[in-house]
């Protein structure tokens, strides 16, 4: 029996995957889960409680996380992204967040999830998989502009350094490292505007949807 129409959107920090996932949600009328927010919430909550260095405390925060904890604007900061990447290396944190993500993905109407391991670990059966990339320089520019608009005083060089650290940590961890699934379509958005990237993503998913409808 075929499962729901799940769209998995993976890729590194500031690749544009969040904007693409939101656009796909609108285009296909599907709910969207930004799974980075789960890790950001765990990082911020455990750091506030002084437990960041302890994997068990991080895992306990992950196990009790609720959807209403994901709307805190503090989760959108540069610091929250770094904390998220740090707690995301712990296998117990990842396994504690697995059910939340799979429950979201099991909605009958279908769904869009964006993250690092959606196509490989969370929803390996997803009928549509995208891996969104862009060069580190382009990603740093985008993230820097976003942070500046949020009022964060940070230099472009600092953001580029963050991106290199995050790429190495997210791609180098043992448990569910950031990787394109073998059946993911790669979308390099380095030379694209966000509208072009969103359009390209929509066309890829339309083709996947037609295959899924006919299966």
Indicate the residue among 129 and 166 with the shorter CB distance to ligand DC: 166
Classify burial at 77, counting beta carbons within 10 Å of its beta carbon; exposed 0-12, middle 13-18, buried 19 or more.
middle
Q: Where does this chain touch ligand DC (CB under 6 A) — which range of 44-52, 83-91, 183-191, 195-203? A: 83-91
Task: Give the Cα separation of 26 and 104 in Å (integer).
Answer: 17
- Asked if 136 is part of the footprint of ligand DC (rule: CB under 6 A), the reply reads no
Q: Which of 47, 58, 84, 187 binds ligand DC (CB under 6 A)?
A: 84
144 in contact with ligand DC (CB under 6 A): no
Q: Which of 25, 33, 40, 45 binds ligand DC (CB under 6 A)?
A: 40
Q: Is 35 in the site for ligand DC (CB under 6 A)?
A: yes
Please select the residue that binds ligand DC; options are 166, 181, 189, 197, rule is CB under 6 A.
Answer: 166
What is d(CA 215, CA 175) in angstroms, rounded to the nearest whole number? 32
Shortest reach from residue 1's CB to ligand DC, in Å: 26
- Residues 60, 65: Cα–Cα separation, whole Å: 9
In 22-159 the beta strands, taken as DSSP E runs, fall at 32-34, 111-115, 128-133
User: Does 52 interact with ligand DC (rule: CB under 6 A)?
Assistant: no
Residues in the chain: 215
Confirm or reject binding of residue 39 to ligand DC (CB under 6 A): yes
Whichever of 66 and 215 has its CB closer to ligand DC, that residue is: 66
Integer CA distances (angstroms), 103 to 26, 42, 95, 158, 207, in order:
20, 18, 13, 37, 26
Tell me which residue of 86, 22, 28 sits closest to 57, measured CA to CA.
86
Two tokens, residue 131:
């891996």
Binding status of residue 115 toward ligand DC by CB under 6 A: yes
Binding site for ligand DC (CB under 6 A): 13, 35-36, 39-40, 81, 84-85, 88, 115-117, 166, 170
């Amino acid at each position: 029996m075929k499962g729901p129409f799940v769209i998995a959107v993976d890729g590194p920090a500031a690749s544009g995957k969040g904007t693409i996932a939101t656009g796909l949600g609108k285009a296909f009328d599907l709910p969207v889960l930004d799974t980075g927010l789960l890790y950001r919430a765990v990082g911020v909550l455990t750091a506030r409680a002084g437990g960041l260095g302890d994997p068990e405390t991080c895992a306990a925060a992950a196990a009790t996380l609720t959807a209403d904890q994901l709307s805190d604007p503090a989760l959108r900061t540069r610091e929250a992204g770094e904390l998220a990447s740090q707690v995301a290396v712990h296998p117990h944190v990842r396994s504690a967040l697995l059910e939340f993500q799979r429950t979201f993905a099991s909605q009958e109407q279908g769904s869009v999830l964006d993250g690092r391991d959606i196509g490989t670990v969370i929803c390996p059966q997803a009928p549509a998989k995208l891996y969104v990339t862009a060069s580190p320089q382009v990603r740093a520019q985008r993230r820097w502009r976003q942070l500046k608009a949020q009022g964060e005083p940070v230099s472009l060089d600092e953001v580029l350094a963050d991106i290199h650290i995050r790429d190495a940590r997210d791609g180098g961890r043992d448990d569910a490292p950031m990787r394109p699934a073998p059946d993911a379509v790669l979308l390099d958005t380095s030379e694209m505007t966000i509208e072009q990237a969103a359009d390209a993503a929509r066309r890829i998913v339309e083709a996947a949807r037609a295959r899924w409808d006919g299966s």
